[in-house]
Structure 1
Amino acid sequence: MLSQTHRFKRPLLLLLAAASCAVTSGCCGRRRELRQAKLRTMQMYQQCQQLGGQLSQAHSSAAQLAAEKQKYEQLANQLQGNLDTANERIANLSNERSQIQDQYKNMLTGLTPSNNPLNSSANRKFEELARKYPEFEFDPTTGVSRFNGDLLFASGSDEIQSKGSKVLQEFVRIMNEEDSRQFHVLVVGHTDDMEVVKSTTRANHPTNWDLSAHRATSVVKSMAKMGLGEPRMGVAGYSKYQQAAANKDDASRQQNRRVEIFVLAPDAVIAGVEPGRRS
């Protein structure tokens, strides 16, 4: 009887032990899962903290960039305003310069820009001369002829070159024709802004004043030899102070080295004795 009891008790104990192990194993599994869940939660929290810091830094950078953008936009607007003001000033100065040039031409010729003393036939001849010699210019509105200085003279010289003499000869021929014979001329010399530095040039033309006046005088003397009456001519020199273009490069300086010939009506008064009062 006792042996049977032991025989049944042992399997029961084994069953209870197995059940206990199963319960213990189940509890251990849940605690491990709980720890892993807590670990994942902590990791996610840390990641959220990092992302939050990065987001805050990004917001701060964005705000700083926005402030800098606004500052540069204000600066750009200010510079644009300054540029607009400068352009407006340049336009005003350009208009003033054009007005002064017109007044200067009117003062020299005693004519309005729309009242060229030359008749249509003489105008046409001078226009044909300008087409024949590109370095010779003629303004049919004012009757002003312009010779590029490099056409007439070598650098620093007041001696007329052969190619310039050809143009002057044709100019004199037109001025001596029947429909132009009554007109006078004023020859005006101009230089660029480069000072006279060569000793050989300074010996004859110490300053640009001298060079401009000497060149104009040389043109008058040459035209006199070609047959244009001396009483019909006058001379002026303006040194570097009557620019045709800003002296910023060789091309613009070449435009400023020039001799201009203003055709004057017989009764035009520039300086000196008025017509009708000559002795």
Structure 2
Amino acid sequence: MALCTRMCLWSVVSLLAVAQVGCCCGARRNQYLTQAQLRNQQLWAQNRALSMQRDGFGGNVGQLQQENAALKQNLDLANQRLNNLASSNNQLEQRVQDMLVSANRGNNPLSDDMTRKLEELRQKYPEFEFDPRTGVSKFHTDLLFELGSDQVRPDAMRVLQEFAQIMNHADASHLNVLVVGHTDDKPISKSTTRARHPTNWHLSTDRADSVVLALKKSGIDEKRMGAAGYGMFQPVAPNTNDANRQKNRRVEIFVLAPDAVVAGWDPAAHSTR
């Protein structure tokens, strides 16, 4: 009887122990499930937020692309307008140039084409001047000569050759050329220079002669040319500073019509030689 009683008690204790273990495992499982559900909810919320951000960025990118396309179109239109304005400007400048030439046809014996060519030469060489109203060309002597010299600089021969090519063109081959030299007011100081050019008169005429000979070498018939010198007595600016003196040191080339008589120029003498 005691044995039976002890066995019954052992069975009850065992059942109670199993029940306790089962309850403990179930509680832990429920806890894990709850944590997993919370984690899933957090991940879902994060994923949703990222999706919304991605959609927002996509919309911004599309808007920026549209704005860039509009800006590019506006820039293209602005560039086209600038090109049109530049073209209109060039046309207006050419018209003004043509009007000047036409209005002064009595003073400028050059044709429109020759005037344009000399204007292009002026733009190419800053030290070369050309007046489209009169057809007078000017070379600053600093371009043509060393200080106190009448020897044409080798690098200056290029502009004289191009000038000669223009003057030998069919439209200008009948015109005459008068080369005139000018100096500033400073007397010849170096003894070596005075040995060749005692005065500014000598220097101005010697330089005019050198340009004539250079033009002859470049192909202009010497019968079409003449040379003169004015020394320091025909300044274009007061001889008060170095900049003005540089302007006064110049060689001018006058293009003359076939019937022009200047300083004793007699066109008829060409045919008698």
Task: Flag the 1:256–1:151 CA change in 2: closer, same or farther, 3 A.
Answer: same
Q: Specify the code of the residue in structure 1 equivalent to 2:168.
A: N
Superposed, 1:73-88 pairs within 5 Å as none
Aligned to 2:239: 247
Q: Are the counterparts in 2 of residues 160 and 219 from structure 1 also a CA contact under 8 Å? A: yes
Matching residue's letter, 1:267: D
Q: Does 1:212 pair with 2:204?
A: yes
Alpha-carbon shift at residue 273 of structure 1 (Å): 6.2
The residue number in structure 2 matching 1:203 is 195
Q: CA deviation at 1:271?
A: 3.8
1:1-279 equivalences under 5 Å are 114-272=106-264, 274-276=266-268, 278-279=271-272
CA distance in structure 2 between the partners assigned to 1:202 and 1:276 by the alignment: 38
Distance 1:273 1:219 in 2: 18
Secondary structure class of the residue paired with 1:206: coil
Count, aligned residues: 168
Q: Which runs of 5+ in 1 are unaligned?
A: 1-111
Give the partner amino acid of 2:246. Answer: Q
Q: Distance in 2 between matches of 1:245 and 1:114?
A: 27
2 CA distance for matches of 1:117 and 1:273?
A: 16
Aligned-pair distance for 1:113? 8.0
CA distance in 2, matches of 1:175, 1:123: 11
Assess if the C-alpha contact under 8 Å between 1:114 and 1:141 holds in 2.
no
Q: What is the RMSD of the two structures over their aligned residues, measured on CA atoms?
A: 1.4
Q: CA deviation at 1:274?
A: 3.3
Contact kept, 8 Å, 1:157 with 1:201, in 2: the verdict is: yes
Q: Distance in 1 between matches of 2:222 and 2:137?
A: 18
CA distance in structure 1 between the partners assigned to 2:183 and 2:105 by the alignment = 25
Deviation at 1:164, TM superposition (A): 1.5
Q: Percent identity?
A: 59
Report the Cα distance in structure 2 between the residues aligned to 1:156 and 1:136, rounded to whole angstroms. 20
Query: Structure 2: where are the runs of 5+ without partners?
Result: 1-103
Provide closer, same or farther for how the CA distance between residues 273 and 120 of structure 1 changes in structure 2, counting only shifts above 3 A.
closer
Cα distance per residue 1:164-223 (max 9 Å; x no partner): 211100000000011111110000000000000100100000000000000000000111
Using the alignment, how far apart are the partners of 2:172 and 2:264 within structure 1?
23
Specify the SS of the correspondent of 2:223.
Answer: helix
- Evaluate the alpha carbon distance shift between residue 191 and residue 182 of structure 1 in structure 2; reply closer, same or farther with a 3 A threshold: same
Counterparts of 1:273 and 1:251, CA distance in 2 = 34
Q: TM-score, normalised by structure 1?
A: 0.58
CA distance in structure 2 between the aligned counterparts of 1:190 and 1:176, rounded to whole angstroms: 25
Distance 2:157 2:261 in 1: 28
Amino acid at match of 1:229: D
Runs of 4+ in 1 over 4 A off after TM superposition: none
TM-score w.r.t. the length of structure 2 is: 0.60
Structure 1 residue 163: deviation in Å? 2.4
Between the aligned partners of 1:122 and 1:251, the Cα distance in structure 2 is 31
Instruction: Return the alpha-carbon distance in structure 1 between the equivalents of residues 268 and 209 of structure 2.
Output: 26
Q: Distance in 1 between matches of 2:138 and 2:265?
A: 26
Q: Is contact 1:196-1:207 (8 Å) kept?
A: yes
**Cα distance in 1, alignment partners of residues 106 and 167 from structure 2:** 21
| CA shift for structure 1 position 226 | 1.1
